[in-house]
Amino acid sequence: MPVHRYEKWWLTFGIGTLAVFLAVLGLRAFASGHTPPGSVLTVDPELIDTIAPWNAPGVYDRGDRVDVYLVGQAFSYAPNRIEVPVGKPVTFHAVTKDVVHSFTIVGTTVNMMLIPGYANEATYTFKAPGRYLVLCNEYCGVGHQFMQAEVIAQ
């Protein structure tokens, strides 16, 4: 069956547009610092309160970097207020005890899914001091709108 020349032009235009779109999307992701997830760490959600370091969530300054261990749970994060230094890489290590949550710091590239049984982590360096809102982007129940925290970069 012969293909009309106009159909060939439209096919070429469509495939070319798709290729340009995918190239722009890939370059934009690379320029924004998005990377694929690393190794998978599993955690028993029923034992989170007894497993170090999540049994004492908080901010730990390691000298050249900062580790933040946090737990997402029914409509809250522990800790709820996170103070981090400006200019140092901060790695957020997060787990959840109950249902699927999200840990998203508004205005940054930190956006993690918190899935029961798995630990997730993201690293970000705050370049300017300020207050950053942390939200849950996954509907987790009737109190979902109250699930928020604050990161204070100073």
- pTM value surpassing 0.75: no
pLDDT at 1: 74
Question: Dihedral, CA atoms, 44, 48, 52, 54, nearest 10 degrees?
Answer: 120
Q: Rounded mean pLDDT of the chain?
A: 90
- Predicted confidence at residue 79, as pLDDT, reads 93
Domain 41-153, CATH class in plain words: mainly beta
The predicted pLDDT at position 66 comes to: 95
DSSP secondary-structure letter at 34? -
Q: How far is CA 38 from CA 2, 108, 109, 132, 146, in A?
A: 49, 19, 16, 25, 30
Helices marked H in the chain — which ranges? 5-32
Length of the chain, please? Answer: 154
- The pLDDT of residue 5 is above 90: no
DSSP 63: S
Domain ranges of the chain: 1-34, 41-153
Look at residue 55 and tell me whether its pLDDT is greater than 80. Answer: yes
